[in-house]
Amino acid sequence: MNLNATNTAVVLDSTADFPAAPSRFPNFRVVPLYVRFGDESFKDYVDITPDVFYARLPGAPEPPTTSQPTPGDFLAVYEELEPQYERILSLQISSTLSGTFASAQAAAEQLGGEKVRVIDSRTVSASIALLALGVQRRLERGTTDEEIDEFVARYARDHQLLFTVNTLEYLKRGGRIGRAAALAGNLLNVKPILTIRDGEVVPLKKVRGNHKAFAEFRSIFDESSTDSPSLKVGIAHAAAPERLAALRELVEHERPHAAIEVSTTLGAVVGTHAGPGTVGFFWFDDAD
């Protein structure tokens, strides 16, 4: 089957931190996860914006919690898309970090047939958005299931993801800390350089201070990329716009021909687990 942007929809969940996707692309939809402050439950990006979330976070009596969409949440979106689209590609946050993938799969099974393909991105945040944009480029020129499979596998193998947090406490609280638990503790002014490998948070290095953290970002970026228009970059922050600006400057200086495709604020759900001050750096060379 020939897949294109007219006959194929793309469904993301809100952990892609790409709320503008449906307004940019008519064939895109976003299914929100939930964040809860005490007895109050909010749909990510729908009922609570990042700005409101980070303003409320310091004064919360108890830390917020998150939950995945229900299969019914996904099913409602799939059923809305079904009359117009022959195929639905549903790209979800890593199944090792959230039950969102399982909810999407359950909804696809309820719909029946092979119309919906649920894909485990094995990643999170702007990295999912970069993957989705690569899928969309292929849909816009015409593609096949086989080419999408090849692209998703290559993305999983070759994309790069770095992030640093102010504290590991948020990852620890939410049970998303993975092997980075080895760095946990009272480390004054130490910035852990983290990545996600096969859906698990993994520590790469620890440095002292933001300046050295960005120097490490620059070193890894330089070593693992070349300057080309095919180099696609994503940058993200959690209540740290000055760090986002510094990342943009880094990319424009080191790789002036690269395309910064995603520049975003981490939403309430990802922010619950990463914490204020987090900055993320994502890239992938989409040369065919």
pLDDT digits (tens, 9 = 90+) for 75-131: 999 999 999 999 999 999 999 989 999 999 999 999 988 899 999 999 999 999 999
Q: Note the pLDDT tens digit of each residue in 225-274.
A: 999 999 999 999 999 999 999 999 999 999 999 999 999 999 999 999 88
**Lowest model confidence (mean pLDDT) among 51-55, 158-162, 185-189:** 185-189
pLDDT-above-70 percentage for the chain:
93
Residue in this structure with the two tokens 């079904």, named with its chain if needed: 82
pTM of the model: 0.93
Are 63 and 173 contacting, i.e. CB atoms less than 8 angstroms apart?
Answer: yes
Are 217 and 195 contacting, i.e. CB atoms less than 8 angstroms apart?
Answer: no
CATH 3.40.50.2300 matches 8-33+68-157: no
pLDDT of res. 181: 46
CATH 3.30.1180.10 matches 159-285: yes
Residue 165 has pLDDT above 50, yes or no: yes
Cα distance between residue 203 and residue 193, in whole Å: 6
Average pLDDT across the chain, whole number: 92
Q: Which residue has the higher pLDDT, 164 or 209?
A: 164
Amino acid letter for position 105: Q
What is the chain's length?
Answer: 288
Same fold, 8-33+68-157 and 159-285: no
Phi, psi of 248 (to 5 degrees): -60, -45
Kindly list the domain boundaries of the chain, sorted by start residue: 8-33+68-157, 159-285
Residue 184 has pLDDT above 60, yes or no: no
